[in-house]
Structure 1
Amino acid sequence: MPLQYPFTAVVGSDSMALALILTTISPEVGGVLVRGEKGTAKSTMVRALAAVLPPIEVVAGDRFSSDPADPGALSPDGPFATDAPVETRPVRLVELPVGATEDRVLGSLHLERALSDGKAEYEPGLLARAHRGILYVDEVNLLHDHLVDLLLDAAAMGRSTVERDGISVAHAARFVLVGTMNPEEGELRPQLLDRFGLTVEVAAPRDPALRVEVVRRRMAYDADPAGFVASYGDAERAFTSRIETAQALLPEVVLDDAALLKIAEICAAFDVDGMRADLVTARAAIAHAAWNGRTRVTRADLRAAALLALPHRRRRNPFDAPGIDEDLLDRILGEDEPEPTPPDDPDVEPVETPAPDSPDVEPVETPALENETHDSAEPQDVSTSSTSGDSAEPQDVSTGPTSGHESDPGDQSGAGDATTVSAGEPFRPRLFSVSGVGAGEQGRRSRAITTSGHRIGARKPGSEGGAVHLIETIRAAAPHQGARRTGGTRLSLRADDLRVAVREGQESNLILFCVDASGSMAARARMQQVKAAVLSLLLDAYRRRDKVGLVTFRGSDGVLALPPTSSVEIAAARLEELPAGGRTPLAEGMLTALESLRVESVRDPNRRPLLVLVTDGRATSGTNAVERSRVVARHLAARGIASLVIDCETGRFRMGLARELAADLGAEYVPLGEVSAEALAGVVRLSTDRHRGGAA
């Protein structure tokens, strides 16, 4: 097994190091979510954390790592005698794969014992193994929602309860939950973000000297791992000693009423929801004081805790970026007495690590973990850009009337001058889904065979696993009991009898938007409506855990503006920047969409696509543009691609080209004004009222 890169050798991730240390000093803080771009040592630092944590004592032979000093330890292997043997072992780092099943996380029936001995015995899962350790989920944003809920509930309650397959077990599950993610691959839901105690944003250092140091250390490690790790042995031991000292000091730290009031003022000023922010900030401030050798919480502790506990709790919209206004925070905190210097500890040697110069960062003995600085930029709201208020009015590019046969300024000038128009306010859209039953990733859009949902049958187990269907297992074994019975009345089961449940739930889909950005769409009011509709569908895709892609067409070509991704935030940003103007290459846009879907079907064959074509149906680029568009549409229909056409044509006199295109595609046809759920409800109510009036 390769040697782990030392924790104290990581450069340029001070805020992440501080968050990890605080939550290991006080696990009640609630874990850490680390958001950052790829290649920023997120996984390296988490995996190195376990090596610097003080070892723990456990009851020997206990599968659930019970604390010998805890007389009420909740372990299915207990109760234990007061003189039970004790062993000391390092803190475990348990990694949860993104593709793990619920059985693997919670534990389940021990199938081998059940089938061979006829005994219902519980086999512990990853939560049991992680008790009193670290549970690490890399790419936590890609984990199924029900598993994330399960993990966070266990982390909050400190226990796991299993009621399934005839098993009823409860065991302690107190662990430090650490999740890492790349926001480019999709975000966590805001309510799940709130369940993580602390969050940090990490990025590669921009200081050339720090970047050089990172490369130098990594190359030294790759050349001689054993020698490099040994060179940081003293620093690692000093770090462990400091953590142990802080853990012992934690109960003595005083959080007085003045500090509590200041925490309440901070949370109220930043308008966070609920009381979890206050609790986490208080616990993190206490841990920060203990880490710095203080027995009283000071302004520096409150500031450091707020910078870690509040940014992700300020999100009001799924597309809002986490952030906090440090100037406002400093105004609320006010002035404080001079910071007392931590007491000198002759057993703790300084650990020198280069750190960025900052007027807010005091010199420290360990990698700049005392007072962190974070991005002070306010969150950028890319989803609800308004054309009123303080924002600049977008230029009205309409060159003719917005009713009847609208002029296409690009028809005479090729690509034309592109103009960007902000989106209107998003709304709650109708649910559009793919017909039939799929087998893709779990989500909230279309019907599919999944690992959760209502049970519709049973099958033999395969590589995809599943929960045991007891009745069908017994039914499969029943005809063979006469031949198998050798005495006694016990049911004889074999592996071939095993059946697992087939469940139907909902899957996520690939929503590929193909948006007309030509001159006929460029009228300010129309483009605002189009962007508002697409933005609303993006919000819906975010909530339903879909992947999204964006194809645009204008001038003479279709362009894949955003390859399929789980990050609807990036799609919203690309939509906001989308220019409009020029001719309408409708056929080219649909061909670009077709090629994008073909490539994605190779990468992710089980995820069914839904093509959302947003256009007024006019094709003006090239010869026979309309007929070429209809040929491509019929080709898409022949490929069996589920489609939706949103007709953007407005005015009293309409050509109806988008409706004809929808017929060629075999697509659902929806006028732009009927995308919202409220508009659909209004149409239904109007129809019902008319029916009642006629009946009367």
Structure 2
Amino acid sequence: MTTPFPFSAVVGQDDLRLALLLNAVSPQVGGVLVRGEKGTAKSTAVRALSALLPEVAVVPGCRFSCDPTAPDPSCPDGPHERGDGAARPARMVELPVGASEDRLVGALDIERALAEGVKAFEPGLLADAHRGILYVDEVNLLHDHLVDLLLDAAAMGASYVEREGVSVRHAARFLLVGTMNPEEGELRPQLLDRFGLTVEVAASREPEQRVEVVRRRLAYDDDPAGFAARWADEEAAVRQRIVAARESLPSVRLGDGALRQIAATCAAFEVDGMRADIVMARTATALAAWAGRTEVLAEDVRQAALLALPHRRRRNPFDAPGLDEDKLDETLEEFSGEGDGDGDGGRDDDPDPGPGGPGGGGQPGPEDGDGSASPEGGDGGEPRTSGAGAGEQSAVRAAEPFRTKVLSVPGIGTGAAGRRSRARTEQGRTIGARRPQGVLSKLHLAATVRAAAPHQRARGRSGAGLVVRRDDLRQAVREGRESNLVLFVVDASGSMAARQRMSAVKGAVLSLLLDAYQRRDKVGLVTFRGSAAEVALPPTSSVDAAAARLESLPTGGRTPLAAGLLKAHDVLRVERLRDPSRRALVVVVTDGRATGGPEPVALASRAARLLAAEEVASVVVDCESGPVRLGLAGRLAGELGGSAVTLDELRADAIAGLVRDVTSRRAA
């Protein structure tokens, strides 16, 4: 077994180390979520923590780590008698992102359960992690059905496995630690709230500190055991301090003044529910114990707020995490117990000093950046450029996002579990049965009994038991929802450059991005303007990144529609090789014009038919405005084999018929 990197040897990352140590002192704090860019020692620090945790006493031979002083009365390996037990190191169990449900909660031996009527249960990772650490690397990529199971176990402190009349329950109380790179997608709010603390980590920009990081890592890689031995004294000192803080924790006093500061802080930052107040109280108490004090001070409350509140203030995935420290200090000062305050409730009445919108107005002119009117028609009076240079207008802000209706891919897929299109999944309603392929996970009891029943006499059945063999077993076929790749192809040419129109377009795409986040989709962004198209964002699970690229998108120039469609075709081809089971939905946001180059309209038509020939589901968001409408976007949708919807209709019930339109066009 490889010697872990010593916790004490981690350079910098003070907040990360403090959050992990506070959970070691008081597991009731509720775990920690570590957010940050790749290569910042997130996983290294978490794995090193387990070596510092005190040993735990367990019932000998119990697979579920029961406490000998208070054994679980419903333990599958019980009942246990109270006793001294045996000590063992605290475990850190890693949950792989691609783990199955059976691997997480455990599995029943279905054949023995049916043939012998016994509960033959194989514990899963939740049982292994009981009274230890459950670590999930890339927790934001964890499948939804595993997230649901984690939420249930974290809420109840127990894991339940109930299948086909066989029920098993065991205790599952663990310290949940997750690491993630926000660029790869955000967490569901329900799981986010289950982490007691959160820290943001980034690589140091100080050359000397970066040199020390490299020096220590190279030394560790050359001789892990020798490197760990050189840090043994520091590790022992931290371990002893954790033990001392745990022993002093019950004697730490959390006074009414500190409680008022905690409650006022949570109210001032408008966090949902009461979990934040409880976590802050436990964190502040652990901070005092770690510092060797028996009284919680204002500085403990402040530090607890910085660790416990940032991830609870996010209302949607585009909200930047973090805490206004000036507002935090004002709130703590007001409720410091030295007076009743000035009655303003600590409200920040300073208006946003920034501009309400982009500065600098463009000059009116023709739509296309070359100064000539488009032969396909035009919307007069649109601004042409700003200081960004000829043919280009600086980025405008997106309008407020709104709730959209569901856009789905027709047919039934087999992709990753999500919330958009119909698919064959591990979760959902049962629609049939089949012979198992590999390990049996979802037994279809009725189909299994029907398969075994005709052979009972030939198998010499005697008595009430049903003789079941492997060939009789039937797997349940279930239908649920899958996530998709939603690829946005956005027209950023001069014909889209009017500020009001582009703001509405960005608001619509932002709304669809919010919908993609809620449905657990991957998203990608292709833009086209001037003479070419570019992949502004390769397919990713991070809608934050897509929103940021969209916000900074400038406009101007000609309209190379064909280049945009061909670039989308290339992106889909590559993604099909990477993830062949994930189906795509292409959302083209354009007014339908095609200019620049020889025969731009004919070339765009051929590119659209190329996508249609590969049966790529598509929707065209028609951005054409003005008193004269040419219907070019609708014509493009027909060539793509999809449907067109206007910006106004994106909010209306009319979108409910988009999928039917796509299907009917294909059938025709």
Q: TM-score, normalised by structure 2?
A: 0.90
**Change in CA separation of 1:558 and 1:435 when aligned onto 2, cut-off 3 Å:** same
Query: How many pairs are equivalent?
Result: 634
SS in 2 for 1:483: coil
2:509 aligns with: 534
1:560 aligns with: 535
Asked if structure 2 preserves the Cα contact closer than 8 Å seen for 1:415 and 1:556, the reply is no
Alignment of 1:166-565 (within 5 A): 166-334=165-333, 390-393=356-359, 395-396=361-362, 398-399=364-365, 405-406=378-379, 416-463=391-438, 466-485=441-460, 487-565=462-540
1:5 aligns with: 5
CA distance in structure 1 between the aligned counterparts of 2:143 and 2:252, rounded to whole angstroms: 39
CA distance in structure 1 between the aligned counterparts of 2:384 and 2:510, rounded to whole angstroms: 25
Alignment of 1:594-673 (within 5 A): 594-673=569-648
Question: Which residue identity does 1:34 align to in structure 2?
Answer: V
**Change in CA separation of 1:394 and 1:537 when aligned onto 2, cut-off 3 Å:** farther
Asked if structure 1 preserves the Cα contact closer than 8 Å seen for 2:362 and 2:393, the reply is no
CA distance in structure 2 between the aligned counterparts of 1:400 and 1:514, rounded to whole angstroms: 24
**Change in CA separation of 1:519 and 1:292 when aligned onto 2, cut-off 3 Å:** same
Asked if structure 2 preserves the Cα contact closer than 8 Å seen for 1:299 and 1:336, the reply is no
CA deviations over 1:275-303 (Å, ceiling 9, x no partner):
11111000111111111111111122112
CA distance in structure 2 between the aligned counterparts of 1:196 and 1:465, rounded to whole angstroms: 33
CA deviations over 1:178-201 (Å, ceiling 9, x no partner):
011110100012333122111010
2:344 aligns with: none
Question: Which residue identity does 2:328 align to in structure 1?
Answer: L
Identity in percent:
63
CA distance in structure 2 between the aligned counterparts of 1:555 and 1:444, rounded to whole angstroms: 37
Asked if structure 1 preserves the Cα contact closer than 8 Å seen for 2:70 and 2:82, the reply is no
CA deviations over 1:197-222 (Å, ceiling 9, x no partner):
11010111111111111111111111
Asked if structure 1 preserves the Cα contact closer than 8 Å seen for 2:66 and 2:72, the reply is no
**Change in CA separation of 1:336 and 1:271 when aligned onto 2, cut-off 3 Å:** closer
Asked if structure 2 preserves the Cα contact closer than 8 Å seen for 1:253 and 1:290, the reply is yes
> How many angstroms does 1:389 deviate by?
6.7
1:60 aligns with: 60
**Change in CA separation of 1:682 and 1:553 when aligned onto 2, cut-off 3 Å:** closer
CA distance in structure 2 between the aligned counterparts of 1:436 and 1:464, rounded to whole angstroms: 27
SS in 2 for 1:484: coil
Question: Which residue identity does 2:48 align to in structure 1?
Answer: A
> How many angstroms does 1:79 deviate by?
2.3
Asked if structure 2 preserves the Cα contact closer than 8 Å seen for 1:59 and 1:65, the reply is yes
1:353 aligns with: none
> How many angstroms does 1:171 deviate by?
1.6
Asked if structure 1 preserves the Cα contact closer than 8 Å seen for 2:367 and 2:384, the reply is no
CA distance in structure 2 between the aligned counterparts of 1:680 and 1:143, rounded to whole angstroms: 31
> How many angstroms does 1:387 deviate by?
14
**Change in CA separation of 1:616 and 1:57 when aligned onto 2, cut-off 3 Å:** same
**Change in CA separation of 1:682 and 1:68 when aligned onto 2, cut-off 3 Å:** closer
SS in 2 for 1:136: strand
CA distance in structure 2 between the aligned counterparts of 1:397 and 1:157, rounded to whole angstroms: 62
1:111 aligns with: 110
Where structure 2 has 5 or more consecutive residues not aligned to the other structure, the ranges are 337-347, 369-375, 659-668
> How many angstroms does 1:163 deviate by?
2.3
1:47 aligns with: 47
CA deviations over 1:327-386 (Å, ceiling 9, x no partner):
22223333999xxxxxxxxxxxxxxxxxxxxxxxxxxxxxxxxxxxxxxxx9xxxxxxx9
2:545 aligns with: 570
SS in 2 for 1:417: coil
Asked if structure 1 preserves the Cα contact closer than 8 Å seen for 2:525 and 2:535, the reply is yes
Question: Which residue identity does 1:82 align to in structure 2?
Answer: R
Asked if structure 2 preserves the Cα contact closer than 8 Å seen for 1:398 and 1:524, the reply is no
CA distance in structure 2 between the aligned counterparts of 1:169 and 1:480, rounded to whole angstroms: 31
Q: TM-score, normalised by structure 1?
A: 0.87
> How many angstroms does 1:392 deviate by?
4.0
CA distance in structure 2 between the aligned counterparts of 1:639 and 1:464, rounded to whole angstroms: 34
> How many angstroms does 1:139 deviate by?
0.7
> How many angstroms does 1:145 deviate by?
2.2
SS in 1 for 2:453: helix
1:368 aligns with: none
CA distance in structure 1 between the aligned counterparts of 2:106 and 2:182, rounded to whole angstroms: 30
Q: RMSD of the TM alignment (CA)?
A: 2.7
Question: Which residue identity does 1:148 align to in structure 2?
Answer: V
**Change in CA separation of 1:74 and 1:327 when aligned onto 2, cut-off 3 Å:** farther
SS in 2 for 1:137: strand
**Change in CA separation of 1:45 and 1:568 when aligned onto 2, cut-off 3 Å:** same
> How many angstroms does 1:410 deviate by?
7.8
Asked if structure 2 preserves the Cα contact closer than 8 Å seen for 1:618 and 1:657, the reply is yes
> How many angstroms does 1:404 deviate by?
7.5
Question: Which residue identity does 1:598 align to in structure 2?
Answer: R
CA distance in structure 2 between the aligned counterparts of 1:541 and 1:122, rounded to whole angstroms: 38
CA distance in structure 2 between the aligned counterparts of 1:168 and 1:125, rounded to whole angstroms: 15
SS in 1 for 2:535: strand
Asked if structure 2 preserves the Cα contact closer than 8 Å seen for 1:120 and 1:166, the reply is no
Asked if structure 2 preserves the Cα contact closer than 8 Å seen for 1:434 and 1:608, the reply is yes
Question: Which residue identity does 2:510 align to in structure 1?
Answer: L
> How many angstroms does 1:414 deviate by?
12
CA deviations over 1:376-414 (Å, ceiling 9, x no partner):
xx9xxxxxxx99974444634653699973258889x99
SS in 2 for 1:250: helix
> How many angstroms does 1:40 deviate by?
0.9
CA distance in structure 2 between the aligned counterparts of 1:316 and 1:304, rounded to whole angstroms: 22
> How many angstroms does 1:22 deviate by?
1.1
CA deviations over 1:40-93 (Å, ceiling 9, x no partner):
11111111111111111101011111111215555222222234x611100011
**Change in CA separation of 1:336 and 1:315 when aligned onto 2, cut-off 3 Å:** closer
